[in-house]
Amino acid sequence: MKCPDEDLQALRDIAVQTNKEWAKKLGIEQAAAVTCVKPSGTVSQLVSSSSGIHPQYSRYYYRRVRGDNKDPVTAAMIEAGVPHEIDPYNSEATVFTFVKKAPKGAVVMEDITAIDHLEMWKRFQLNWCEHKPSVTVSVSEDEWPAVGAWCWENFDILSGISFLPKEDSNHTYKAAPYERISVEEFRAYPKFPDINWDLVEENPDKDTEFACSAGACDI
């Protein structure tokens, strides 16, 4: 069910006003921004949700995550036998590959066009978010002219948007963050091994969130 634009605006205004009232009661500054799109890239992985205003990548797909070779978690996952490879773009990082299945009934990338996705971004930008909601839009080869025209027409509000070629465009991005697979490939993939995380030593200098995983972009 689609929430009408006017309802999004009303909910946004209520959130901002409530924040203003409570900031005054607590004697603190009002938040610079209240409304945003969630869940973040990291949290979405934990609950098998798509992040922010993105559809699920596909019904079945590979999800690849990069880890610093100096990170104890990276070493533990390699030792446990998690499928991995050296990052083709950074020899000091390792790429881990996981299989994912979209929840039943979820909207997947094949269900919408690049323009559909851009219009969704625009709707939340104009009616809900006080900042620029970040989004990564996948574009088929025959969609680029229309996407270029859309960007020109909406240039004044354009920000926080990344573009990637869809797999049907025969892109050559090695170890891509997402890769569509068949149900047979999903079922045949090795089971994730057991890892004793208690044996992983913390590294306070490296215990940080992966780049682009907190909703900044979905690549």
Alpha-carbon distance of 216 to 174, in angstroms, equals: 22
Neighbours of 74 (CB within 10 A): 20
- SS3 string, the chain, reads CCCCHHHHHHHHHHHHHHHHHHHHHHCCCCCCCCCCCCCCHHHHHHCCCCCCCCCECCCEEEEEEEEECCCHHHHHHHHHCCCEEECCCCCCEEEEEEEEECCCCCCEHHHCCHHHHHHHHHHHHHHCCCCCCCEEEEECHHHHHHHHHHHHHCHHHCCCEEEEECHHHCCCCCCCCEEECCHHHHHHCCCCCCCCHHHCCCCCCCCCCCCCCCCCCCC
pLDDT band, residue 17 (cuts 50/70/90): very high
**Closest C-alpha among 81, 157, 164 to residue 123:** 157
The answer on pLDDT for 215 being more than 50 is: no
pLDDT digits (tens, 9 = 90+) for 28-87: 999 999 998 888 877 887 887 888 899 999 999 999 999 999 999 999 999 999 999 999
pLDDT digits (tens, 9 = 90+) for 98-134: 999 999 999 999 999 999 999 999 999 999 998 888 8
Q: What are phi and psi of 76, to 5 degrees?
A: -65, -40
Q: What is the pTM (predicted TM-score) of this model?
A: 0.78
pLDDT band, residue 214 (cuts 50/70/90): very low
pLDDT band, residue 205 (cuts 50/70/90): low
The answer on pLDDT for 16 being more than 90 is: yes
The answer on pLDDT for 27 being more than 50 is: yes
- Tell me what pLDDT residue 1 has: 58
Q: Which CATH class is domain 41-105+171-199?
A: alpha beta
- Tell me what pLDDT residue 213 has: 47
pLDDT band, residue 202 (cuts 50/70/90): low
**Helices 144-153/114-127 angle, 10° precision:** 20
Neighbours of 13 (CB within 10 A): 11
Long-range contacts of 150-156 (CB under 8 A, 24+ apart): 150/115, 150/118, 154/118, 154/122
Residues near 196 by beta carbon (within 8 Å), at least 6 away in sequence: none
The pLDDT > 90 percentage for the chain reads: 66
